[in-house]
Structure 1
C-alpha cells in the first residue's frame, strides 16, 4: 500500500471518477527510474503564469536548490515517483473540490460569474479577466462582467472589432460543430503578427500583454458565453493549469445554467405581474397619484388599481391574493379585471363592489381567498367612501395629523358564506395624502404586526415638509424608512404595494 502523507485530504470518489481525465493509470506503466521531474512535478512558474497563492498549492513541489545541495541525492524508484504523482493529483482534486464548493454556494447569477472569474484567475495565474454572457438560445440575459476591470475598461475592450477578440471567436463559432474552438491562447499580444491595431492599442492602454480564453459551454447546458483571463506580461498557462481550469469551467457552466434558468423565471414572473398592473396612473383633477410595487422572486398576488369613474370620480383599489407563483399572479389579474367591471357599474357603493367580487371568487376559485380595499374618491369634495375585506386600514398623512383610518373588522373574501361589512367615509383637508398599502409592507419588516404598524406611522409622520407636496417623493420616503438597508428592493416572499393619493 502506498504511503500518502496524512495532510493530503483524499476525496476517493472524486479521485476515481477523475482517473481517466488525470491519467492515473498511465503512472502504473512507469518501470524505469526517472531522474528529471515532468511537467506535473515541476516547481510553480512565476505569478503571471502560475497558480495564485490564494489557491492551496499542490504537495508535489521540488526542493529548492540550496536545500538539495546539502542533502545527498537519493535515487527514486517507480514507487516513489508514483506516490509523488498521486499526491499531486490528490492535491489538485482537493483544490478543484474547494473551488467548486465555493461556487455552488452562490445563489445569484452575478455572484456566480464573479466567483468563476476569481477562481479561474487563480488557476491560470492571471490577475484580471472578463466574462461575456451570451446564451446561444438568444433568450438572454446578455451582459459583460469584469474582474479587476472598471466599467470604462470594459467599454474600451468592446471598441475592438468582435472578430479580433478571443471571446468573439469563441462565441461566433457555431455550437456543436466537430472540432470547435476549445481554447484560445495568445501568449504575447504586442508581438503577435496580424493582430488588429485597435486590439493592440487597447491592450497597451489597459496594460495587458497576453490572454487565455475558454468557452462556457457543455453538451447539456449548451453555449452560455466565454471567459477571458488577462496577463500583465507575456505568459500562458501550462498544460496542468489548462486541464484544471477546463474541469472547473465545465462544472461552473452547469451551475451557471441552473442560475440562468432561475433568473429568467424571475424576470418572466416580474414582467407578467407588471403587465397585469396599470401601466400608468390616470390624471384626475383635484388629486395626485403615485404607486410603488415590489414583487418577490416567485411572483405574488398583491395588486393595485386606479380608474376614472363617471361624474369626475375616481376608483382606488389595493388587494392581495393568497399564494405565490404563476397561479397567484393569474388569479390576481382575473380579480383585478373583475373589480374594474364592478366599479364602473356600482363604484359609488364600495360594499356592493366587494360583495360582487366575493361572490365571483367563491364560485370560480373556491380554494382561494383574498383581501381587498376599494375606495370611491370624489376629488372635488375631498371625500373618500371605502370598504375593506380583511385589509389593512389606510393611513391619512397631513400637516396637522398622521392617523390610521378606523375601519370595521371584516373577514377576507372567500372566507365566509356571505361577506358583508359597512363602509366608512374619509374627509381629507387640502394637501393631505391617503396611503393605501398591502400587508406585505408590514410583513417584510420582520417585526410583529403591532410594531410594524408603529414603524409605518412613524415613517409617515417624519416625512419632511418639502416632500409632502409630491406623492412620488412621499411614497419613496416611506418605503425607504419602513424598509431600510435595501429591504424595499431585496428579494422576499412578500410582495409590497403602496399607493398615495394627495388631495389638492
Structure 2
C-alpha cells in the first residue's frame, strides 16, 4: 500500500492560467501539510452546492483584470475567426455565381460581388476575349448608359483596365489609382471624366484563365481617394480565379448556342415566297441548346404554294443534320408530287426509315391553291392546324396518324379545307404547346383562346396574328421560361 502522510490541497491560479495560449495552462500548485485527518470524523457544517463553509473568504482581491497581460491565444482566435468569415463569404459568393446560366448574368454577379469585397459602390466590366471571336460586352454597376459612354471616351492607354485589354505593359503591383483628381501625372481626359462623374479612385483587375487567356477586365470606382486593403485584394483574387473559370465555361456555351442558331437558320428558308392571294409570315424561336423544329414554304407550279412544318426527335448535331436533310427531301418531293400530300409524306417516310439515324419525326404538308382558296393537307403525328377568322376559330380535324419512322409503311388520308376571305391558317409545332406548360389538353385550350382573342385591328396582318398568338400563349400559361423547346408558327392569311 501507498503511505500517504498528509493531504495535499491544490490551488489553481485562474489569472495565471488565463494568460496561457488557447486556454490551455499548467496549474500552479501550492502544497501545504494540513495535519492529521482528524477533522474527517468531526461534525460537518451544512454545505451548499459548490461552497465549502469551512474555507474562510479572503478579504483581499486580485489585481484588476484590465491590468493583466492580454492572452496570446486571443490573437489566434481572432485570426481563425477572420479566416472562417472569409471562407464563408467566398462560399456564398461562389454559390451565387454558380447559379448563373447566362454570360451577362454572370458578369453582373461578378461585378456586384467584387464591389462588395473591395468596398466600392460603382464599377464596370469589359468582356473582350483575346481570340476576338466574341461576344463583346460592357456592363456597368451604378453607372448609367451615358456614364459608361463618358468613361469609354478616355483613351484606353490612359486607364489601367484599358491597358490590360489592349495588352499594353502594366505595373507589377495592383492596378490601383488612389487619387484620380489630385494626381497630375494622369491623363487630363481621365481626370476630367472622373471629376464629372464623381469618382476619385479606381481598382482594376484582369480576367484571365490559363486555357482561354485574357477574357476582359473589371474596374471598381471609389467616391473618395482610397484603395482596398491587402487582405481584401487577396480575397478578391481568390474569388476572381473561380469566377473566370465559370465565365470561360459560359463563354463556350454561348458560342455553341450561337453556332447552333446560325446552322439552324441556314437550314431554314432565307425568305418566304410571294404568291398572289395569300400573305405569309413566320414566328420562329430557337431553343438555347438547339432545337429540331423546322418549317418551309415554296412556290409550286401553276400558282400553287407548299407549306410544311415538322420536328425531328432527338438532339445534338445528328438530329440537326437530319432536320436539314428531311426538309431538303420534302422540297424535292413537293415539287414532283406536291398536289398529293399523302404521297409526299410517304416518300419522306421511306427516306427517314432508310437513311436517317433518328428514330422518328413529325411533319405536316399542305398544298395550297390561293386562287381557289383551298388547302389539301396531310399530317404524320403532327399538331392540327388552326383557322382564325371573324366568324370562327377552330382546329382542323385531321386523320390521326403515327409519326414518320414509326411504321414500316405510312399512309393516311388527306383533308381539304377552304379558308374564307380574311381568314388565317396557323401551322405550328408542338414546342409552342410544351412551352405553354401544363397538360396538352389545357395547352390546346390556351392556344385556342389566344387565337380567338386576336384584336380585329391585327387580323389584317399575318405576322401580327402569329406574334400575338405566341406572346399570349407563353405569357398566360405556366410557361417554360428557359425556352427548352423550339417554337415555330407559320401563318397564311388568304385574301
Alignment partner, residue 11 of structure 1: none
Q: 1:333 is matched with which residue: 310, 313, 324?
A: 324
**Equivalence for 2:157:** 163
1:122 aligned to 116, 125, 139, which one? Answer: 116
Provide closer, same or farther for how the CA distance between residues 378 and 74 of structure 1 changes in structure 2, counting only shifts above 3 A: farther
Q: 1:335 and 1:202 mapped to 2: Cα distance?
A: 58
1:303 aligned to 271, 294, 307, which one? Answer: 294
Aligned-pair CA distance for 1:501: 0.2
**Larger CA Rg, structure 1 vs 2:** 2
Residues 1:461 and 2:452 aligned together: yes
**TM-score of the superposed pair, with normalisation by structure 1:** 0.83
1:366 Cα deviation after fit: 5.3
Moved more, 440-449 or 301-310: 440-449
Q: Tell me, in whole angstroms, the C-alpha distance in 2 between the residues paired with 1:383 and 1:171.
A: 61
* Secondary structure of 2:89 counterpart: helix
Paired residue for 2:243, among 242, 248, 252? Answer: 252
1:192 counterpart = 2:183 = yes
Aligned equivalents of 1:81 and 1:221: distance in 2? 42
How far does residue 325 in structure 1 lie from its aligned partner after superposition? Answer: 2.4
Contact 2:436-2:480 at 8 Å conserved across structures = no
Q: Does 1:447 align with 2:445?
A: no
The one of 104, 107, 124 aligned to 1:113: 107
Equivalent runs, 1:117-156 vs 2, <5 Å: 117-156=111-150
Structure 2: 5+ residue runs without aligned partners? 1-19, 24-63
Alpha-carbon distance in 1 for matches of 2:116, 2:69: 34
Asked whether the equivalents of residues 302 and 319 of structure 1 are also in contact (C-alpha less than 8 Å), the reply is yes
1:50-449 matches, cutoff 5 A: 72-76=66-70, 78-173=72-167, 183-365=174-356, 367-449=358-440
Distance 1:182 1:257, change over 3 A: farther
Structure-1 separation of matches of 2:427 and 2:67 = 84
Matching residue of 1:14: none
Aligned residues: 436
Measure the CA separation in 2 of the matches of 1:290 and 1:494. Answer: 20
Matched-pair contact (CA < 8 Å) for 1:287–1:503: yes
Change beyond 3 A, Cα 1:392–1:224: same
Q: Aligned partners of 1:477, 1:248: CA distance in 2, in Å?
A: 45
Deviations 1:447-479 (A, max 9, x none): 211111111111111101000000111111101
CA deviation profile, 1:5-51 (whole Å, cap 9, x unmatched): xxxxxxxxxxxxxxxxxxxxxxxxxxxxxxxxxxxxxxxxxxxxxxx
Runs of at least 4 residues off by over 6 Å: 485-489
Partners of 1:351 and 1:221 lie apart in 2 by: 53
Which stretch shifts more, 218-227 or 348-357?
218-227
The answer on whether the counterparts of 1:480 and 1:486 sit within 8 Å (CA) in structure 2 is no
Give the superposition deviation at 1:182: 6.2
Q: Which runs of 5+ in 1 are unaligned?
A: 5-69
User: How far apart, in 2, do the equivalents of 1:3 and 1:292 lie?
Assistant: 70
Measured against aligned partners, the alpha-carbon deviations of 1:251-299 in whole angstroms (never above 9, x if no partner) come to 1111111111111111211121111111211111111001011121211
- Shift in Å at residue 489 of structure 1? 9.3
Q: Which residue of 1 aligns with 2:470?
A: 479
Alpha-carbon distance, 1:97 to partner: 2.1
RMSD after superposition: 2.1
1:144 shift after superposition: 0.4
TM-score, normalised via structure 2 length: 0.84
**More displaced, 345-354 or 364-373?**
364-373
SS state at 1:374 partner = strand
CA contact (8 A) 1:289 1:500 kept: yes
Shift of 1:93: 2.3
Distance across 2 between alignment mates of 1:501 and 1:182: 65
Is the Cα–Cα contact under 8 Å of residues 300 and 323 in structure 1 kept in the other structure?
Answer: no
